[in-house]
């Protein structure tokens, strides 16, 4: 079965998925919409697709079976809801929203319609993550330490709290999601954020550094820190510490420390491609088991990051809301 695919949003992260779909025989990009029409037209020429004048028109008239929603966090309005009610399978890039209310509204539409859904947490599809999960299976995890340190994205919406939600919500959500995937659910957070060097940037209303202490349902504890003031790409990763075993995962590298040896694994696989391949396979087969990050699970990661923002704002420990 060939799955006809539409895109709402064709800049930035959409290109990762477009590159992957171009390699998948069972996928055909047939419909695109972007508020920057020239971007949509460039994609349409590449895939011989049709450009629509609005997301409503695309959803209503294109006849697609699957839709990628690749929008900045603030721009999620009714796109997913309309698609779900139309019976269209959804792939939604992270973070899936920047408010509890919007995430719950979309989730209710997905649940009531029964459509397949996936979210853009590509680390879950990395073969190194599979190996990490196998190594950690049945282990008593004591401590989880994650980090995302690098530069300041220059897109205007990223620097505004109502545009991105801040670094922990928009970028570090990948590390939060990986922590949940490897170590289980997070039930409470205690955060401290600061603005140290970027306070003079125009329209800057987020934070340039922060750290979040985490309590897992299992009793394990953790910390995830981030900063965006380095002016260079630096380091992103997660360490999981158990008796006799430490697992350190980066995007293309896994380091495993045991009492008698240290082993390093590398992967040349493109996790974005594997993620897209799994989504198309799920839609074609009508089988959600291929999807490792359904929308509902992605909402759980979002709620951890929103709780961290609350904690930093009000200076108290915040329980993570349930989905």
Helix axes 295-314, 100-113, angle to 10 degrees: 170
pLDDT of residue 308: 98
Predicted pLDDT of residue 280: 98
Q: State how far the Cα of 306 lies from the Cα of 154, in Å rounded to an integer.
A: 22
13 pLDDT more than 90: yes
Task: Measure the CA–CA gap between 284 and 2, rounded to whole angstroms.
Answer: 7
Q: What is the pLDDT of residue 217?
A: 98
pLDDT score of 273: 98
| Residue 1 pLDDT > 90 | no
Strands 253-258 and 245-249: antiparallel
Rounded distance between C-alpha atoms, residue 223 and residue 247, angstroms = 15
Query: What's the mean pLDDT when you consider all of the chain?
Result: 97
Cβ atoms of 126 and 271 within 8 Å: the answer is yes
In this prediction, residue 262 carries a pLDDT of 98
CB 294 within 8 A of CB 90: no
Give the per-residue pLDDT at 124.
98
Q: What pLDDT does 231 receive?
A: 85
Nearest to 259 by CA among 244, 240, 243: 244
pLDDT tens for residues 194-242? Answer: 999 999 999 999 999 999 999 999 999 999 999 999 988 889 999 999 9
pLDDT tens track for 262-305: 999 999 999 999 999 999 999 999 999 999 999 999 999 999 99
CA separation (Å) from 306 to 159, 174, 189? Answer: 16, 14, 10
List, for residues 17-68, the tens digit of each pLDDT value.
999 999 999 999 999 999 999 999 999 999 999 999 999 999 999 999 999 9
pLDDT of residue 251: 82
Average pLDDT rounded to a whole number, residues 6-13: 96
Domains of the chain, earliest start first = 3-122+272-292 (3.40.50.720), 123-267+303-319 (3.30.360.10)
Q: What is the pLDDT of residue 232?
A: 85
Is the peptide bond between 320 and the residue preceding it cis, with omega within 30 degrees of 0? no
- State CA 83 to chain mean position distance: 20
């Amino acid at each position: 079965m060939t799955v006809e695919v539409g895109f709402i949003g064709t800049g930035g992260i959409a290109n990762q998925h477009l590159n992957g779909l171009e390699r998948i025989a069972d996928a055909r990009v047939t419909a695109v919409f972007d508020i920057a029409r020239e971007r949509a037209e460039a994609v349409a020429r590449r895939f011989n697709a049709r450009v629509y004048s609005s997301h409503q028109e695309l959803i209503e008239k294109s006849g697609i079976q699957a839709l990628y929603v690749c929008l900045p966090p603030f721009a999620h309005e009714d796109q997913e809801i309309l698609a779900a009610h139309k019976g269209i399978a959804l792939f939604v890039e992270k973070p899936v929203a920047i408010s509890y209310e919007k995430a719950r509204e979309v989730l209710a539409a997905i649940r009531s319609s029964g459509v397949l859904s996936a979210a853009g947490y590509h680390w879950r599809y990395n073969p190194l993550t599979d190996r990490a999960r196998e190594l950690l299976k049945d282990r008593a995890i004591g401590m989880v330490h994650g980090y995302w340190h690098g530069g300041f994205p220059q897109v205007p919406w990223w620097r505004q709290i109502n545009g991105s939600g801040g670094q922990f919500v928009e970028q570090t959500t990948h590390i939060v999601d990986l922590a949940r995937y490897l170590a289980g659910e997070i039930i409470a957070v205690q955060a401290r954020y600061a603005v140290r060097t970027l306070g003079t940037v125009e329209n800057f209303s987020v934070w340039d550094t922060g750290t979040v202490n985490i309590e897992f349902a299992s009793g394990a504890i953790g910390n995830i820190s981030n900063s965006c003031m380095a002016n260079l790409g630096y380091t992103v990763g997660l360490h999981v510490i158990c008796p006799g075993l430490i697992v350190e995962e980066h995007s293309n590298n896994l380091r495993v420390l045991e009492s008698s040896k240290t082993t390093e694994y590398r992967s040349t696989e493109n996790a974005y491609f594997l993620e897209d391949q799994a989504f198309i396979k799920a839609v074609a087969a009508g089988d959600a088991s291929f999807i490792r990050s359904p929308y509902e699970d992605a909402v759980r990661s979002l709620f951890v990051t929103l709780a961290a923002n609350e904690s930093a704002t009000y200076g108290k420990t915040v329980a993570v809301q349930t989905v």
